[in-house]
Each structure stands twice: as structure tokens, then as C-alpha cells.
A and B are shown apart, each in its own frame.
Chain A
Amino acid sequence: MSVVGYQADEFPGVKKVFQKSVSGRFRTIKSAVLLAMFIGFYGLAWLPWDRAGATPNQAFLMSFSEGKFYAGPLTFWPQDLFLLTLVLLFSSFALFFTNTIVGRVWCGFSCPQTLWTDAFQMVERLFEGDRNEQIKRAKEGNTPDNIARKIAKHFVWFLIAYVTGLTLIGYFAGTAHTFIGVTTLSASTTVCVMVLVFTALTYLLAGHAREKVCLYMCPWPRFQSAMLDPDTKIVTYHAWRGEPRGKAKKKAAGGEVGDCVDCSLCVNVCPTGVDIRNGLQLGCIGCGLCADACDSIMTKLQRPTGLINFASLAQTHDEAHLTAPLQNAGGKQRKTTKVRFYGYGVMLSLVAAAMVFTIVTRTGFDVAVTPERNPPFVTLSDGSIRNIYNIRLSDRGDDVPSVLFTVEGVNNPIITISHAGSTLAEAETPTIDFTSFTAAALRVLITVPAQDRPSGQEPIMIRLSNAQTGEVMTEASTYFWGPENRP
């Protein structure tokens, strides 16, 4: 096609990548990570957990209807959203941290795009054979056999995509409900549409877009290179050893050639189709499959392995020049202390510590007290002084106890409680029953007799304890305001 301003043949088109399968160290790691991630993703959605009421009995559940996130025994409320910030910070620092040590291993081994593409390619090989056979079939075109294989492949792809969509939405709407509801079309339109959206995305991204996501869509490769330094281990072709390329026979005969025999296997196994011998490039996701491929050839030729491996720039430089260590611009010896390594390490530990601290010290019962400021106090007809507090209570736990209110800091306080809506009870009972709700806005009146009234501001503590066991659940410090005694 031609677009205004461009020559017709300027568009190189997209070269289709036929990936060859390979076995080796990194392939094994990649497969192990793939298996673990898939078991985690598809499995954890089914992990049962007893939950009260209509909430699905599911260990991991992000309930939109309740606005709560359940993770096993932990329940997170909307006000815990800042924990998500910590999780995001942790993930970012983990990404930066691994990037300074071993480059883009996230991309190569655990990015969902990599994982699902990898799985889809395994399916493709199952039906259409390995690289050579795939190329042959592509040249043959639409023979009945090829069409049958294609249909089978796309069917399995779609099936994986569909289960992925169902599972993903299952984390939000309940897995069993989603699987049954969407398949029988009894689930809500929103759930059905979201499942279809994620099915389509999985099918398109993992089945068709593949490496194009890394090359054209993903922003991460664009700035990750700024995070590399000379000590970062990246997938490296050791040109000093491999070049000039030549046939194995030539070297055996004593010719002037390097170890690289130009077999192209490293290119053929690359999921993004790059030639690592051209140096580090945007397309390299750091998965190490080319290293596996090269090692297999070197082993066959009985040459040392590691012509392509994870190596730092400094290491490669030192090997190539044998003696002279890599130097900084000023000619001084390069510093090997990695500020970034320690910096990200410290940040990672701090965020992790903050997360653990927050979750451990979180109380199951929250109280927020706001004193009424207008007016700060009221004089009653018998001369006693009353302060009014707006109190919000929330109970994260499953048990709903009766809560006893006590006040410390003023003498002979009388506590009166009203819910929003219900008028004040005549009986001044300082307990509130939590059987019917888990969060409540209360209007609490504290009245101090005339002879005990403080002058000015007096710090007090409102204590909430379990009415049955007497155990203190939470405390809130606030103040009681009395009229300032005038001389």
C-alpha cells in the first residue's frame, strides 16, 4: 500500500517470525516460570475460602459490588487503597532492581505477553510443526491438511484465551459464577462483555501480535536501556571470540576465523527475530534462548560454550582486551560500586517493610472521631456541659460484637449514642450492637455534670471495648471542651 509522502516499497512490512524450538538452560527456566505462573493464575482463582453472606467463597477476590479486596484471611477496604500504591512502588522498584542486575529478565521470562505468546507458540508447533515445517506449510498455502491444522490451532488458541478471560474476570466477579454464568449466558452483560474483551485481547496479543507488542507497542523497552550500566548482565554475543565468522572446517584447517559458524540458529530461536550478534538492541527481551541455541552448536563442535551468554559490558570488555580494565571518561579506573544497585535495593526493602508493617499493625476495628466544632459545647438546663462527637466505626472482621463505649479524662461522663436517623434513646446505654452493620456513623454525646465540668480544653480518650469479653478493641484520643471559668 502507499501512503502519501512515502514510496511504495519504503514500507518493509512486518517480517513474520517463525520461531524454532530450542532446549537448554534458559529454555528450562522459561518453561518452569511459565508453568508456575499459569498454575498460579488459573489455579488461585479456584482456591476456596469461607466467606460470610453472598460473597463468593474464594481466597482471592476483588469484589466490585462490596468495594473490598479479599486475599485469604486479609480484607482490604477502599480506605486501604494506599496499600496499592505501596504494591505498585514495590513492583516498580523490583523491576528497576532486577534491571540493573540482569537487564530485561522480566521481559524475557515473566511478562504476561511473553508467557502467553510462548504458550500459544507451543500450541502452534503442536499442530503445524517446528520452524522449518511451518515455513514449508506457509509456502504450500491452503491445502486441506493445512487448513484443518490451522482451524485446530485457532480453536485451541481461542479456548486458552476464553479460559483466560473467564479466569481474569473470575477474580472480580467470582470464578465459579463467571465460568457458569458466562457459558450459560446467565451472567450480567458487564461480566459477559468483559470476558469477551479479555478473550479477544488474549487471542489477538498472544496469537497474532506477539513480538510486535514488544517492538511497537510496549513503552518499557524505550527507557529500560537507560537503566543499564557496565555491570548489568545482558545477553551478549562475544564478538572478540566469534568474529570473523567462518565455516567450522576452515577453522579446523587453521584458518583465521572465530568461533561463530554463522549457523543462524541464534536468530531462528529468537522470539522477536533479532540477531544478537548485531549487539544489544530494542528487540532483545533478554530471554537467553539464543544462548541455549549457540551452546548446543558449540557443544557439537566441541568448543567452549558461552559465545552468547549473560555477561556485563565490563566483563566483555575485559575479556576482549585481556588486561586493560574498562575506564571512565577521565581515564580513571571504572568504579564498580553500583549506586543504583544499593539505591534500588534500599528502596525495595523500605517499601516491603512499610507494606508488612502496615498490614501487621492494621486494626480489625477502626474508629474515626470528629468533635462537633459548631458549637464546641452546649450548656444544658441543669448546668451540665455536653460535647458532641461524630464517630465513624468500621469492623473489618467477620465477628460482629457489641461495642462498649467508655471515656477517660473527665469525671462522671454520661454517654449517649444515636445512629444517623434514629432519634436519641432515652436510656443512656453506652453500647452499640454491631449485628446489623459493619460500618456506622454515630452521633455520640458526652455530658459532664456541672460540678465536674472542665474549664477550657481537656484531653480525653474514647475507648471502645468488646462488651462480652471486655477486651479493648480500639481507642481514639480527642478533647472535651468546657466553658472557660471567668474570674
Chain B
Amino acid sequence: MVHETIAATNAVVTLDVALPGIVWGWIITMNMWAKSIGTGIIFLGFFLLKKYPEQTGFIRFPIAAISIVFIHIFLFFTVIDLHQMFRFWHIFFYPHLTSAITIGAWMATGFVGLLFGMAYAIYMKKDEALYDKLLGWTVLLAVPVTLYTAGLMAQSTARELWQMPTESAQMILAALLAGTSAMILLGGNKFSDTIKKDLAIILGLAAAAAFILYMAELIFGPMKAEEVAAVLHYIKGGEYTVMFWIGQAMAFIVPMILVCLSLKNQSYYLLKIAAVSALVGLWVSKHVWLVIPQLLPMS
């Protein structure tokens, strides 16, 4: 038995009860992933409509529709993850305002309302001015809707790896990465070369920044706390190593390379592959980062 103990203490837990394993599993990963697309496409849509109003008018309805679909995927997975999902309304009628969950639910509700307003303005009323006005407010709300999960994770005091401000930066970068990828796939070949170049640059920069943050946490995180070091063991030669690197490669490394190649060769096809890779990889990266802090023994 001694070979199994921690060398410094020679201590081994010989009797204890089962600890809860992974409490927030793939459903929460889906939640975060879908939300990144739902808010990211709004950020990108706003940027393109402001910078290239003449050429991008056709994206008005699609971005509202895509955002509605993905925000509802996010809401659906949020609600089904509750153990008492039919009490969801308690958040609105017995709110506790210190909780990021409450604030997030309220913000998301306002966001959904604005999205439907945008869809109505452009599809039913064909009123671009009203749409653009609503889009401005939607972008403003998209920021806290994107960030509230980082707030929730920061309030999860037990999990040292989920800390502000790193998580908030990661959430915004994930939204930019996912939003740009969705926009690249949505635009088909209808975008001009200049717009494609802009999208490629945003995708490449978001991927690079997110990758740098993950690597910084991986290398320097253990200096912060013993708990962080113990969590990172799961991806430093532990059971989540392969999954972690698959996620990093698909979400960030492959897109960075493909963006460079596509800019060099002016190939929109490569950019589309980069977008698909980023979307798949983002799911995997988020999942690993969500799960590993939950494996730590708490007591």
C-alpha cells in the first residue's frame, strides 16, 4: 500500500464514502458551446453590418435566426440539467441577486426578447432601421450573457481552475471564435475577399489568444495553488491528456495554421475547414476544462 501514498506524508485514505464525481457534465459543455455561437454571431453580425453595410445586408435575418436557435439550445440544456427543472421559474420569483445564475437567467431572457424583436423587425416589418437599433441593444446584452458563465464559475469557489479574469477572457474569445466560424459557414461565397480576410484574421487572432491563455494556465497555474497543480495533473499525463490536446489542436492550432494558409492562398475553402475544426475543437476544449476541476477530492 505504501507505494500508493503521497511521499511527503505517507498518508492514504482508507475509509471514506463515495464522493460525487462529475456533477456538471456534457450538458453544461453543450450549454457553454451553444451560447458561444448564439452570442458570438451577434458580435460578428454587428461588426460586419457596421463596417460593410452595403455588402452584408443579407445576413440580418440569418444572424437573428441562428442566434435564436443556439440560445434556445443553450436554454434547453441549462434547464434539463436542473434536478428540479419544473421549478425553473423560482429564479424569477425567488431571486437571489448575489448569484450569477440569477443574473444570467434574467439577462438571457432579455436577450431572447431582443432577438425575437430583431427577427420580427426584419422578417415581418422589413424595417432595417428598427432592426439595427435593436441589434445595438442586443450586442450590449450579449456581453453579460457571454460573461455570466465565467461569473458562475468564479463563484464556484471549490474549483481553483475556474477563476476570473481568465475565464471571462476565455468566454469572450470562445464567443468570437464560434461567432466567426458560424459566420464563415453562413456566408457561403457571398462575402467579398475583404470581408473573408477580416473574418480569417478575427478567427486566427481569437484562436491564438485563447490558446495562449490555456497554455499560460497550464504552465504557470501550478504556481498559484496546490489545487491547481493537482487539477492539471489530469491533463499532464493523466486520463484527460489526449482529449485536452485534441481540443487544443482542433479549436486553436489547426484554425491558426489554416487561417495563415487561406490568407496566403486566398482560399475560402481552407477557411471553412478552419471554422468547422474550431467549432468542434471548442466543444472538446470546454469539456475538458469543465470536467477536470470536478475530479479533485474536496475533503
A and B form one complex: no
- Measuring CB to CB, which residues of chain A are less than 8 angstroms from any residue of chain B? none
